[in-house]
Amino acid sequence: MLACRRLHANVRTARGLLSSGPVTGQHPGPRGSTVPRQSLHTGSSLRNDFYKDLEAQLAAVRKKAAEALPGSGWSPFELNPDLPPERADIVIVGGGVVGWSIAYWLKQKERVQGEVKVVVVEKDPTYTQASTVLSAGGIRQQFSLPENILLSLASADFMRNVNEHLGVMNEDPVDLQFNHSGYLFLASEKAAHIMEQNYSTQRYAGAKVSLLSPTQLKEKFPWINSDGVALASYGLENEGWFDPWTLLNAFRKKAISMGVIQCCGEVTDFKYTVNVATTPEGENVALKRIKSVKVQMPNSLEYQPVECAIVVNAAGAFSSKLAQMMGIGSGPKGTMAGTPLPVEPRKRFVYVFHCPDGPGLDTPFLVDYSGVYFRREGLGGNYIAGASPDEAEEPDISNLDVDHSFFEEKIWPPLAHRVPAFEKLKVTSAWAGFYDYNTFDQNGIIGIHPLVNNMYLATGFSGHGLQHSPAVGRAVAELILDGGFKTLDLSGFNFKRILNQEPMLERNIV
Amino acid sequence: MSAHLMSLHRCCQRSALLLVARRPWSSSSASPPPLHTRLLLFLTQRFYDMEMLLSWSSQLKRRVIQRKNAYYSYAQRFHGSDIAAAYYVLNLKGGFRFVGLSAWFRANHRGKFNWDFLNHKDTPLEEVDMSYSVINYTGLVNLEGQRSLRTLSFRGCPEVDDWFLAKLHMFQDSLEELDISHCPRITTGGLAALRNLKGLRRLDISSLPGISSPGLIIILLEEMLPQCQITASGYNLSLSQEEKMEQMQEQRKGQS
């Protein structure tokens, strides 16, 4: 009975409430039914009144703010889930095979799980312009620099045990579709002595390569026209070609499973501090240190500054753009600050053609002394071919269009001369890709930049980045985590050789 | 709460991966994997500890194989490369025959063998049979010095892969017979590496599950090794597409 009377009283106060507030008064239905139940417990109508009022005012403010801001769907607490984290230890710019390989090796080498926080920033997650997936996918040991040969041997060893390195639990094993077909280099009379020297370097480094005379060549590959060939070198082991996309994806999957953060965006700016130091020669040098990386999200104005300790520049063909943002190469010519990163994109065409009478299963990756190369693609009589154009005839790099006349004029004649069966062929498809071409000496640049003391470079591989990526990733991870090269000494590839004008040139037989 | 959500999310991901992984089983007419494999997969999906245990066990297996295929440097130093190779072959439960001898030395099924082979010092091996052993790429180093090896058999070796075949070029002057049938890890890319074995007279590539379009590959191999007689049984070559379909339907009827 007592309870019943109190309820009555409460209803009365509730009615009073309703009439007092103009905002709440407009919605008597739902409020009217809830308020009495609440006041059963609180009892005080005064406090209730205050909170109601506050709530109404807050609602009005929120409404006003929403109307005032551009885009009424905006809310301050909604975040883009794709944004990179605000802080990271290492930011790798460039999600190509080199970038992901570095990320994998950093995680592989950490002692405690989650020791280093690694973010990989890739501007194009579909990889439409990435050099990795547009390459011919070959791996060879036939270089002239011991460093390059050792890099290839280490990478081949990695690929042999790819499932131990990159296998992810409960997933299919990685199948690189490696074709063990070997490279065959042909040398003309005047380059034969270079090939012999290269051969001894390669044998010394441990590569299984054999030299063939023109007669042996003809015996081994009857479909080759050996005119003009003085010497040939042929890889017996650890050479061939594989699927670049599979390797890239395997690296990415494994790295993500180990805790690397993938981020889709473009690095547009750096924040850095500058310290001025004086060299022994009395030159004032500005030493920079990156504090944060500005990552711009794709197709939006949104960006996120990522504070980081170390930045790895693995942006391949576009890495010099990144270096320019740090002011590398902007100083007066001839000084340290005025030496740019000598890496630029170069367009290379790859043509797929069909020739039913062409060489069969034993087709090697043939590189002629004219610069033309070709290899088998699958088993159905398809081949892919390409060549490097002359320095003066570099194609336009603003797009990835294919110049079909290049095949007709520059590739087909030497190709048909070397392999007479290719007189009759049909080009079925073609694509173009970028080389991260090092204009200084066509070799990779690995190591720290002398003027930006937390930017590591891993770029400029000029066409052999894919095949060296596993070993390069390991080397860069060693450089970052151990402070120096442990397994392979790549100190010859550092940036200082560019400052000192000491090129590490490959002695090509082409 | 967030931990729960995380584990739920992870579970969902895992089950999606499992579906992907399972696809080959469901498309093939073969029976689904045995009960204990499925149970293990089920447990790994739900418990980190199981995942850990499984990865440890696979690491352990890998290490055992590595140890078995280690380089026999001690035997090589004290008894020469021929005895070291012979010892390696017997340790992997294989068999071999010395040059100029008709008797085979073999390990029995428990891995026990007769030590009489030590009497034949500096006699190279002529025939080696490593069928159903765990020989792999690194173990092949022990046979590297054998210049008069004529016959090699790697029938049903689970660790023989394309890289292994590519390394066989070191016997290119002497090898005449090679048996790589029933090796699950060999693919088309590795068969191309046999081009270096120009002296090959007989090659057995029966029942390799890893190669696609075996008919074409056999033709290409015959073209590449014209002097070699290629044995390739265990492939369904004669049937046309329609007949295959009919056969599959019959199988399904038989199952249901």
pLDDT at A41: 54
Q: B27 with B114, same domain? A: no
Q: Is the ipTM of this complex over 0.85?
A: no
Q: Does A172 touch chain B (CB under 8 A)?
A: yes
Cα of B166 to nearest chain A Cα, Å: 6
Place of tokens 């088309």: B188
The stretches in chain B having pLDDT less than 70 are 1-31, 238-248, 250-256
Kind of pairing between the strands at A310-313 and A372-377: unpaired
Task: Please give the Cα distance from B177 to B204 (Å, whole number).
Answer: 8
Q: Please indicate, yes or no, whether residues B103 and B133 belong to a single structural domain of this protein.
A: yes
**Interface subset of B 99-128, CB within 8 angstroms of A:** none
**Among B45, B66, B87, where does a domain finish?**
B66
Q: Which of residues 226-255 of A touch B (CB under 8 A)?
A: 236-238, 240
Clarify whether residues B161 and B250 are in a common domain.
Answer: yes
In this structure, are B15 and B61 located in the same domain? Answer: yes
What tokens appear for A206 in the block? 């441990």
Task: Report d(CA B150, CA B176) in Å as an integer.
Answer: 5
Q: Do B133 and B44 share a structural domain?
A: no
Examine the fold and report which residue of B50, B66, B82 is the final residue of a domain before the chain moves on: B66
Q: Which positions in chain B touch A138 (Cβ < 8 Å)?
A: none
B residues 138-197 near A, CB within 8 Å? 162-163, 165-167, 169, 187-193, 195-196
Task: Give the one of B163, B213, B224 whose C-beta lies nearest to A160's C-beta.
Answer: B163
Out of A160, A170, A362, the one facing B195 most closely (by C-beta) is A362
Task: Indicate if B106 and B15 belong to the same structural domain.
Answer: no
Residue B51 burial by Cβ neighbours in a 10 Å radius (0-12, 13-18, 19+): middle
Say how far apart CA B85 and CA B65 lie, in whole Å.
17
Q: Which domain holds residue B23?
A: 3-66
Domains in chain B: how many in total?
2
Among B22, B41, B66, the domain boundary falls at B66
Domain co-membership, B43 together with B98: no
CATH classification of the domain holding B158: 3.80.10.10
Chosen for mutation from B17, B49, B196, B203 (greatest number of chain A CBs closer than 10 Å) is B196
User: Does B213 lie in the same domain as B89?
Assistant: yes
pLDDT score, position A279: 84
CA B160/CA A93 separation, integer angstroms: 39
Q: Which of A434, A436, A419, A423 is closest to A372 using CA atoms?
A: A419
Q: What is the pTM of this model?
A: 0.82
Residue A113, both tokens: 């799980």
Please indicate whether, in this complex, the C-beta atoms of A360 and B196 are within 8 angstroms of each other: no
CA A276 to chain B, closest CA, distance in angstroms equals 48
Most B CBs within 10 Å: which of A158, A361, A375, A377, as the mutation test of the B interface? Answer: A361
Q: Mark whether B13 and B80 lie in a shared domain.
A: no
Residues B15, B92: one domain?
no
Q: Using CA atoms, how far apart are residues B143 and A324, in angstroms rounded to an integer?
A: 55
Q: What backbone phi and psi angles, to 5 degrees, belong to B85?
A: -65, -45
The answer to whether A113 contacts chain B (CB < 8 Å) is no
CB contact under 8 A, B55 and A169: yes
Using the beta-carbon criterion (under 8 Å), do A236 and B221 form an inter-chain contact? no
Across-strand partners of A456? Answer: A312, A448
Q: What is the dihedral of CA B32, B36, B38, B39, to 10 degrees?
A: 160
E strand or H helix at A177, and its extent? none
Task: Report CA-CA distances (Å) from A325 to A321, A329, A439, B160.
Answer: 7, 10, 20, 51
**What residue of A is the nearest CA neighbor of B40?**
A170
For B50, other C-beta atoms within 10 Å of its C-beta total 15
Interatomic CA distance for residues A471 and A459, integer angstroms: 13
Q: Tens digit of pLDDT per residue, chain A (510 long)?
A: 444 455 454 444 444 444 444 444 444 444 444 444 444 555 556 677 888 899 999 999 988 877 776 665 555 556 677 889 999 999 999 999 999 999 999 999 998 888 999 999 999 989 988 999 999 999 999 999 999 999 999 999 999 999 999 998 778 899 999 999 999 999 999 999 999 999 999 999 999 999 999 999 999 999 999 999 999 999 999 999 999 999 999 999 999 999 999 999 999 999 999 999 888 888 888 999 999 999 999 888 889 999 999 999 999 999 999 999 999 988 888 888 889 999 999 999 999 999 999 998 989 999 999 999 999 998 989 999 999 888 888 898 988 999 999 999 999 999 999 999 999 999 999 999 999 999 999 999 999 999 999 999 999 999 899 999 999 999 999 999 999 999 999 999 999 999 999 999 988 755
Question: How many beta-carbon contacts under 8 Å exist across A and B?
Answer: 74
In the numeric block, the tokens 């791996």 are attached to A139
Nearest residue, CB atoms, A237 vs list B55, B169, B220: B169
Predicted confidence at residue A78, as pLDDT, reads 61
Is B159 found in the same domain as B111?
yes
Q: B129 and B54 in one domain?
A: no
Q: Which two tokens stand for residue B15?
A: 């089950």
